[in-house]
Amino acid sequence: MTVSVEPAARPRREDMKAVGQFAFELPATWRADMRVPVRVYADDALLAPMLEGDAMTQLVNVATLPGVVECVYGMPDMHEGYGFPVGGVAATRMPDGIVSPGGVGFDINCGVRLMALPLTRTELGGRLEAFVHQLSRSIPSGMGRGSEWRLTDAELDAVLTGGSAHLVRAFGLGVEGDVVNTESNGRLDGADSSKVSQRAKDRGRGQLGSIGAGNHFVEVQAVERIEDARAAQAFGLRQDQVTVLIHTGSRGLGHQVCTDYVKLMDGRTEAYGIKLPDRQLSCAPVSSPEGRDYMAAMACAANFAWSNRQRIGHVVRTVAARELGIPGADVHTIYDVAHNIAKVETYDGQLLCVHRKGATRAFGPGNSEVPEAYRAEGQPVFIPGSMGTGSWVLVGDARSAKQSWSSACHGAGRTLSRHAAKRQVTGSQLRRELEGQGIVVRCPSSAGLAEEAPIAYKDVDRVALVVEGAVLARRVVRLRPLGVIKG
C-alpha cells in the first residue's frame, strides 16, 4: 500500500503572493512536505474557484513529489483532476525524479489539430450544413464508438511505434506536411508496444479515427479576428477563413495504459520510500523498471493519439473534396499539439521529465522543435473554447521557458461538473440556442451535449488574455464556431 502523509488545509487567497500582474505564488514553506513553490497564472476571477475547490490543494501535493524542480505551475484553466490538477505542469530531474501517470492523465496525448481550408465563410455559403453533416457521418463519435478499421496485431504495433508518420507513409492517410506540422513529428521515441497490455490494445484496436465522448469534438470554424497579422500570415490564416479543429486523444487504449500503470506503481511506491499525500499521485523514479516501462507504454499511447487525429484529418480532406470540391492537398494542417503528456526536455543543461496535464508546449521563436516555416514566430498554441463561444490560436513566447517549462494552457477549463451542467441546461435547449446563433450541431446524445454547455466553462477570452499577460504565449487569431460535432 502507498505510504501517505496527512494533507494540510486548503490554501487561502491571503496565502498567495502576487508575483506579477497574472501570477500568484505559494511558498514552499507553506506546508512542511513541499519541495518547491507553487505558482498559478490567473487573475482574481480565475483564481477564486481554484481555491474554493481542490485544484490548488492538488497542485500543492504535486510540489511534494521526489525530484520536482524549481516550481510547479497551474495554468489559468486549472481545475480538479485525478491526482494532478488539469492544467498542472511539473518537471522532475532525470534520471531519479519520478514520473506519475496521474501527471499525464487517462487520455494520454489528448490534443488538438487545426486544419485550414482554402475558402472563406462567405465562399462556403449554404454548403455549411451539408459539410458538417457529412463530417458527422464519416467520423465515429460517442462512448465506445469506433471505426470500421480494426487493426491487426501487426498493424497496431506499427502504429504504436511509428505514430502518424506511419499512417501517411504506409497507408497514404495524409501528406508529409501533416507530419512536419505535428509536435514531435507525430512520434515519441522509446515506444515499446510490448509494454502495452493486451487489454489496452484490444480497447484501441477498432478506435483509430474516432472522437469518443466527453469534451472531444470536431468543430468547423472561421477566423473572426486577427490580433497578430505577421504570425497569422506565417500560420497561413486570413480573415474569415474556414478551419476545422479536431480535439481527441488515445481513446480506450490510453485510458487502459494509465489504469494499468497507476495500479502497478501504487503497489511499488513504498518500496522506493516515497511518501504521498494522495494515492492518486502514484509514481516511480523515471530510471526504475516501472518508470521506464510506463514511459515506453505512454509513448505508444501518444503515437496512437497522433495517428487518431491523423486519420480524422484525412477524413476531413476526403469530405471537403466530396462536398466542397476542394483538392485534399489544399487543406492545410496548421499544427497538431499534445496536452496530456510527459516529455524529456533540457532546460539550462538539466535533463527533465516535464509533465503537462491539460497543458501544451509553448516554444518560442528559434526553438529547433518548432517547424521551420513557423520558427521565426514560434510554435502555434491552441486554446479551444466551448460550443457557441470561440477558440484562440496563439504563438509561444520564448520567456515561457523560465515561466512555465515552455507551457501554456489547453482550453477554457471547467467551472461546473458534468452533472451540474446537466442540472442547469438540457441538451435540447442548448441545441436550440446554438442553432439560433447559426451554429450547426451534430450530437447523438442530448445528455452529452448538455454536459459540455458553455456555462460549464470559464471565459475563453479571459483565459487567453491571462496567457498573453503572463508572457506564456501571444494571441494571434480568434476563431468562431460554425458547426459542432460531438459524441
Pairing state of beta strands 440-442 and 473-486?
parallel
Question: Domain range holding 139?
Answer: 13-415+457-486
Most confident of 9-13, 249-253, 451-455: 249-253
Instruction: Report the pLDDT value the prediction gives residue 442, as an integer from 0 to 100.
Output: 86
Instruction: Report the pLDDT value the prediction gives residue 421, as an integer from 0 to 100.
Output: 67
Instruction: Report the pLDDT value the prediction gives residue 462, as an integer from 0 to 100.
Output: 95
Q: In the chain, how many domains are there?
A: 1
Residue 62 lies in a domain: yes
Q: Is 216 a catalytic residue?
A: no
Reported as a single tens digit per residue, the pLDDT across 45-59 is 999 999 998 999 999
Distance CA 464, CA 429 (A): 28
Instruction: Report the pLDDT value the prediction gives residue 435, as an integer from 0 to 100.
Output: 79
Helix (H) or strand (E) segment spanning residue 335: strand 332-338
Distance CA 143, CA 381 (A): 28
Residue 159 has pLDDT above 90, yes or no: yes
- Catalytic pick among 79, 166, 410, 419: 410
Residues 6+ apart with CB under 8 A from 334: 114, 115, 116, 181, 235, 236, 237, 243, 380, 393
Instruction: Report the pLDDT value the prediction gives residue 3, as an integer from 0 to 100.
Output: 40
Burial class of residue 155 (count of CB atoms within 10 Å of its CB; 0-12, 13-18, 19+): middle
Mean pLDDT of the chain: 92
Question: Phi and psi for 160 in degrees, rounded to 5?
Answer: -65, -35
Residue 95 has pLDDT above 80, yes or no: yes
Reported as a single tens digit per residue, the pLDDT across 172-204 is 999 999 999 999 999 999 999 999 999 999 999
Instruction: Report the pLDDT value the prediction gives residue 400, as an integer from 0 to 100.
Output: 97
Contact 439, 369 (CB under 8 A): no
Residue 340 has pLDDT above 90, yes or no: yes
Q: Is the peptide bond before 277 cis (omega within 30 degrees of 0)?
A: no
Reported as a single tens digit per residue, the pLDDT across 299-333 is 999 999 999 999 999 999 999 999 999 998 899 99
Instruction: Report the pLDDT value the prediction gives residue 68, as an integer from 0 to 100.
Output: 98
Instruction: Report the pLDDT value the prediction gives residue 130, as an integer from 0 to 100.
Output: 96
> What residue has cell string 510540489?
63
Instruction: Report the pLDDT value the prediction gives residue 456, as an integer from 0 to 100.
Output: 66
Instruction: Report the pLDDT value the prediction gives residue 38, as an integer from 0 to 100.
Output: 98
Residue 421 lies in a domain: no
Mean pLDDT for 386-398 is 91
Instruction: Report the pLDDT value the prediction gives residue 79, as an integer from 0 to 100.
Output: 94
Residue 100 has pLDDT above 70, yes or no: yes
Residue 7 lies in a domain: no
Instruction: Report the pLDDT value the prediction gives residue 289, as an integer from 0 to 100.
Output: 97
Residue 351 lies in a domain: yes
Residue 440 lies in a domain: no
Distance CA 213, CA 146 (A): 11
Q: How confident is the model at residue 1 (pLDDT cuts 50, 70, 90)?
A: very low
SS3 209: coil
Rounding to the nearest 10 degrees, give the CA dihedral for residues 212, 293, 343, 22.
70
Residue 441 lies in a domain: no
Distance CA 198, CA 139 (A): 26
Instruction: Report the pLDDT value the prediction gives residue 223, as an integer from 0 to 100.
Output: 98
Instruction: Report the pLDDT value the prediction gives residue 434, as an integer from 0 to 100.
Output: 78
Residue 310 lies in a domain: yes
Reported as a single tens digit per residue, the pLDDT across 129-152 is 999 999 999 998 755 555 677 899
SS3 301: helix
132-136, 261-265, 287-291, 458-462: the lowest-pLDDT one: 458-462
SS3 246: strand
Distance CA 164, CA 208 (A): 11
Mean pLDDT for 194-220 is 92
Instruction: Report the pLDDT value the prediction gives residue 86, as an integer from 0 to 100.
Output: 96
Instruction: Report the pLDDT value the prediction gives residue 58, as an integer from 0 to 100.
Output: 97
Could you tell me what percentage of the chain is helix, strand and coil, using 3-state DSSP and rounding each to the nearest 5?
A: 40, 25, 35
The CATH number assigned to the domain holding 111 equals 3.90.1860.10
String of DSSP letters for 353-374: EEEEESEEE---TT-TTS-GGG
Contact 220, 128 (CB under 8 A): yes
Distance CA 76, CA 43 (A): 8
Rounding to the nearest 10 degrees, give the CA dihedral for residues 164, 178, 146, 355.
60
Buried b (16+ CB within 10 A) or exposed e, 183-197: bbbbbbeebbbebbb
Residue 431 lies in a domain: no
Residues 6+ apart with CB under 8 A from 40: 16, 23, 24, 25, 47, 50, 56, 59, 73, 74, 76, 78
Which of 334, 344, 328, 329 has its CA nearest to residue 371? Answer: 334
